[in-house]
């Protein structure tokens, strides 16, 4: 069993292509009772993310949570990918995208991502990174429309405590094979 992701990078995001938010968005920067009750995450994981400085963008109508996405500034190790991403202080890793099934196709992601990109651009972000499964053609098309480009294909296989990461760059066509024994301790682990 292996995980397969496409790493996408955008250095010239155009949130204007997205619709202005038609859905209310809240940005959670500290743990709250609303966050504890409405996300499919354990409270400890939510607290860990918030304490690391991650921001949680939640789309809602009244008491209904329609969708969510998270943002992280700084280096991050993504367990499922088996890779440390060196994001830097001017970059943001976009992750944890979810739209409730009954609200898909109703501009929830557009509203979330418009708010997300505006929020981080106002704070000096110039580079955005995301990882998407290569078969998720809908999200790949949405990201392409926003300005993201394919950076690399990542295949990660783990056997017990050892992992093997295969990475193929779309830019220079190079291939890398890395043995992953330990996850880093000097960056946020997701």
Strand-pairing partners, residue 169, are: 152
Please name which of 162, 90, 150 lies closest in space to residue 120, comparing C-alpha atoms.
Answer: 90
Task: Note the pLDDT of residue 91.
Answer: 94
Given a cut of 80, whether residue 14 has pLDDT beyond it is no
What order of strands is seen across the sheet that includes strand 162-169?
24-28, 55-61, 64-73, 91-99, 127-132, 2-10, 149-159, 162-169, 175-180
Q: 107: which 2 tokens? A: 């501009």
pTM surpassing 0.85? yes
Q: Please answer whether residues 129 and 147 qualify as being in contact, where contact means their C-beta atoms are separated by less than 8 angstroms.
A: no
Mean pLDDT of 110-122: 92
The fourth-level CATH superfamily of domain 2-189 is: Gcn5-related N-acetyltransferase (GNAT) (3.40.630.30)
């Amino acid at each position: 069993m292996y995980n397969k992701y496409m790493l996408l990078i955008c250095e010239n995001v155009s949130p204007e292509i997205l619709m202005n938010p038609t859905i209310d968005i809240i940005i959670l920067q500290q743990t709250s009772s609303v966050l504890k009750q409405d996300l499919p995450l354990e409270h400890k994981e939510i607290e860990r993310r918030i304490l690391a400085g991650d921001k949680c963008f939640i789309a809602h109508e009244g008491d209904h949570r329609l969708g969510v996405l998270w943002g992280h500034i700084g280096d991050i190790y993504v367990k499922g990918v088996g890779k440390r991403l060196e994001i830097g202080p001017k970059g943001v890793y976009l992750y944890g995208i979810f739209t409730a099934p009954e609200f898909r196709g109703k501009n929830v992601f557009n509203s979330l991502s418009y708010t997300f990109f505006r929020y981080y651009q106002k704070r000096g972000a110039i580079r955005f990174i995301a990882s998407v499964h290569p078969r998720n053609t809908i999200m790949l098309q949405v990201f392409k429309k926003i300005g993201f480009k394919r950076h690399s294909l990542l295949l990660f296989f783990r056997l017990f405590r050892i992992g093997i990461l295969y990475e193929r760059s779309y830019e220079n066509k190079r291939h890398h094979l890395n043995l992953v024994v330990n996850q880093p301790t000097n960056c946020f682990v997701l």
